[in-house]
Amino acid sequence: MKTLKIGLLGLGNVGTGTYEILAMNAAKISALTGCEIVISKVLVSNINKKRSLNLPADLLTENAADILSDPEIDIVVELIGGIHPAFDYMLTALQNKKHVVTANKAVIATLGDELMSAAAASNVLLKYEASVAGGIPILNALSTALAGNEFDEIVGIINGTTNYILTQMTDFGLNYDDVLKDAQAKGFAEADPSSDVEGEDVAYKLSILIQTAFGLKIPPLSIPREGITKVSKDDIAYASQFGYKIKLLATAKKNGSTLECHVQPALIPVSHPLASVSNEFNALFIKGNAVDDLMFYGKGAGSMPTGSAIVGDIIDIARKLDCLPCCLTPQISAPTKLIFAGEGKSMYYINFLVADVPGVLGKVSTIFGDHGISIESVMQRSKGKSEGEDVPVIYILHESSRQQLDPALAEISSYPFIKEVRSILRVEPLN
Ligand SMILES: NC(=O)c1ccc[n+]([C@@H]2O[C@H](COP(=O)([O-])OP(=O)(O)OC[C@H]3O[C@@H](n4cnc5c(N)ncnc54)[C@H](OP(=O)(O)O)[C@@H]3O)[C@@H](O)[C@H]2O)c1
C-alpha cells in the first residue's frame, strides 16, 4: 500500500484532534484512500512543552524547513493560525509542490488568491474546509453537492464564542461582561476576545463563504460589521417581548444584480430555525434556486470537530492523487456579475432612553414618518420607574436604509427629551 506523508504545522487544539482522528480511524481511512497516511513530522514553537499525546521522540521539530523542504512529504497541514508565518509556510509548501490543508480563515480570506495561484502553478491542491464553521462541511457542500444552484441567500451563526455569550445572556438574564468572564474561565473565549466579539472572525468566514457561493471576492474588512459588545440584557429582554432572539448573524443576500452582506447582531423571530441554535453551536441557513431552504447545524469549533474537517480534506487529496492532473486544479469560483452593495435595507429595532413627558411617542413617530419610515410596533417601559425618571422606548421599524434612518435618528436626537439612542439593531424577517 502506498504511504502518504503528512507534515503537520502546529499541534495545538486542532493539530491534536487531527492527529487523534488519523490514528483512531486509520483502518477506515486506508480503505477509503488506498493509502497509509502517516504524520512524519510536526512543527511546534516549543519542542519541550508537555503534550497530551504520547509521541515518538523524533516526531517534533522547531524548524519549519524539516517539513517544507522534505521531498518525501506530500501534504502540509497548517494549524498554526495567524497570518505570519502561517501564510509564508503555506506558500513555500505549495511552491515545493506539496498539497496544503489549512483551517486558517484569516489567511484564506485575505491572501487566499495568492495561495490559489501558487497551487495552480504547482498543480497541487489547497483545501480549507475547516476555515469556516469547523466541523460543518459547508464549503464542500456549496462547491460540490449544491453547485448546481444559484444561491439567493446565506445567513449563518458562525462564531461559537459570541453565540455562547448571547445564549447565556438570553437564558439567564446576565450581563455581557459577566458572561464574557465566565466564558474565558471555561475556555470558550480567548483571553483577548476582540476578534470574536467585534465580528472580525465572522467577517473572515463570511468573505470565504461569499467567494465560494457567489464567486465574489470581498475583502473581509470591507464587509459592514458590528460585534456584540453593545448588546445589553435589556435589548435581549425587549426583543423577546416582541417575539425575537438576538443573534450575531453573517448575512449575504442577493438583491437583483447586487449582493448585500453584513455581520451584525440582529433580531430573528423565535420561530426561525436559527433562533434555536444555542451556545457553542453553529448553523447556516441557505436558499438555493433549486434545493430551496437548507440548514446546516453542528459544532463550529473544537479539537475533534475541526479535526474532522481537516481529515476530510486530507482524504479528498489522497483519493485524487492518482487521478488526472485536471482533478488537482484548485476549486475555481463561479463567474459572477454580482456587485457588492454593502448593507442594504432592513427592518430596525431602536432602543431610546427618553424623558417621561407627554407627547414623546407622537413626536418621534412623526419624525420617522417624515423620513419615509413606517413603524411596526412601539413599546414604552415605565414599569418599575419612579416619577420623573427616564424611560426606555422601543421601536420596531419597517424596512429602511441607513441613508434614511440615520438622518431621522439625528433629528430625533436633537430634541431634549431624547436622552440616548441606546441600540440600533437589524431585524431579520427571514421568512
Ligand atoms: N480551535 C478551534 O476550535 C478552531 C476551529 C476552527 C479553526 N481553527 C483554526 O485552526 C488553527 C489552529 O488553531 P488552534 O486552536 O489549534 O491553535 P493553538 O491551539 O493555539 O495551536 C497552535 C499550534 O501552533 C504552534 N505554533 C504557533 N506559532 C508557531 C510558530 N511561529 N512556529 C511553529 N509553531 C507554532 C503551537 O506550538 P506549541 O504547541 O509549541 O505552542 C501550537 O502547537 C487556527 O488557524 C484557527 O483559527 C481553530
Q: What is the pLDDT of residues 170-179, one digit of tens each?
A: 999 999 999 9
pLDDT value at 282 more than 90: yes
| DSSP letters for 289-336 | TTTEEEEEEEE-SSHHHHHHHHHHHHHHHHHHTTS-GGGGSPP-PPP-
Helix (H) or strand (E) holding 367: helix 360-370
User: 11 CB under 6 A from ligand 1?
Assistant: yes
CB 228 within 8 A of CB 166: yes
Burial 409-418 (b: 16+ CB within 10 A, else e): beebeeeebb
Q: How confident is the model at residue 361 (pLDDT cuts 50, 70, 90)?
A: very high
Q: What is the pLDDT of residues 29-59, one digit of tens each?
A: 999 999 999 999 999 999 999 999 999 989 9
Instruction: Quote the distance between the C-alpha of residue 94 and its chain's center.
Output: 26
Among the residues of 69-199, which ranges form H helices? 86-95, 105-122, 138-140, 160-172, 176-185, 194-197
pLDDT value at 330 more than 70: no
For residue 15, the ligand 1 atom closest to its alpha carbon is: 16
User: 103 CB under 6 A from ligand 1?
Assistant: yes
Query: Which mutation among 79, 136, 205 tests ligand 1's pocket best, with the greatest number of atoms within 8 A of CB?
Result: 79
The mean pLDDT value for 303-310 works out to 97
Higher pLDDT, 369 or 381: 369
Please give the distance, rounded to the nearest whole angstrom, from the Cα atom of residue 89 to the centre of ligand 1. Answer: 14
The reported pLDDT for the residue numbered 326 is 55
> Is 205 among the catalytic positions?
yes
Burial 24-50 (b: 16+ CB within 10 A, else e): eeeeebbeebebebebbbbbbeeeeee
User: 299 CB under 6 A from ligand 1?
Assistant: no
pLDDT value at 110 more than 90: yes
Higher pLDDT, 303 or 186: 303
The mean pLDDT value for 279-294 works out to 97
| Cell 517534533 belongs to residue | 60
At residue 93, the 3 state secondary structure works out as helix
Please give the distance, rounded to the nearest whole angstrom, from the Cα atom of residue 400 to the centre of ligand 1. Answer: 43
Q: What is the pLDDT of residues 43-100, one digit of tens each?
A: 999 999 999 999 998 999 999 999 999 999 999 999 999 999 999 999 999 999 999 9
Query: Which mutation among 44, 46, 68 tests ligand 1's pocket best, with the greatest number of atoms within 8 A of CB?
Result: 44
CB 125 within 8 A of CB 320: yes
pTM: predicted TM-score of the whole model, two decimal places:
0.95
The reported pLDDT for the residue numbered 327 is 54
pLDDT value at 382 more than 80: no
Q: Does domain 2-135+303-328 have CATH number 3.40.50.720?
A: yes
Query: Among candidates 130, 128, 81, which has minimal Cα distance to 108?
Result: 128
CATH ID of 141-299, from 1.10.240.10, 1.10.520.10, 3.30.360.10, 3.55.40.10: 3.30.360.10
Instruction: Quote the distance between the C-alpha of residue 202 and its chain's center.
Output: 3
pLDDT value at 431 more than 80: no
User: 159 CB under 6 A from ligand 1?
Assistant: no
Q: What is the pLDDT of residues 311-326, one digit of tens each?
A: 999 999 999 987 655 5
Tell me the percentage of the chain whose pLDDT exceeds 90.
91
User: 17 CB under 6 A from ligand 1?
Assistant: no
pLDDT value at 331 more than 60: no
User: Which cell is 307 given?
Assistant: 479535526
User: 7 CB under 6 A from ligand 1?
Assistant: no
For residue 17, the ligand 1 atom closest to its alpha carbon is: 16
**HSE-up of residue 19 (Cα within 13 Å, Cβ side):** 25
Neighbours of 353 (CB within 10 A): 13
Torsion of Cα atoms, 317 then 318 then 323 then 325, to 10°: 40
Give the start-to-end residue ranges of the domains of the chain: 2-135+303-328, 141-299, 346-427
pLDDT value at 211 more than 90: yes
CA distance 143 to 146: 6
The reported pLDDT for the residue numbered 360 is 95
The reported pLDDT for the residue numbered 319 is 94
The reported pLDDT for the residue numbered 145 is 96
Classified by CATH at the fold level, domain 346-427 comes out as Alpha-Beta Plaits (3.30.70)
Cα-only R_g, the chain: 24
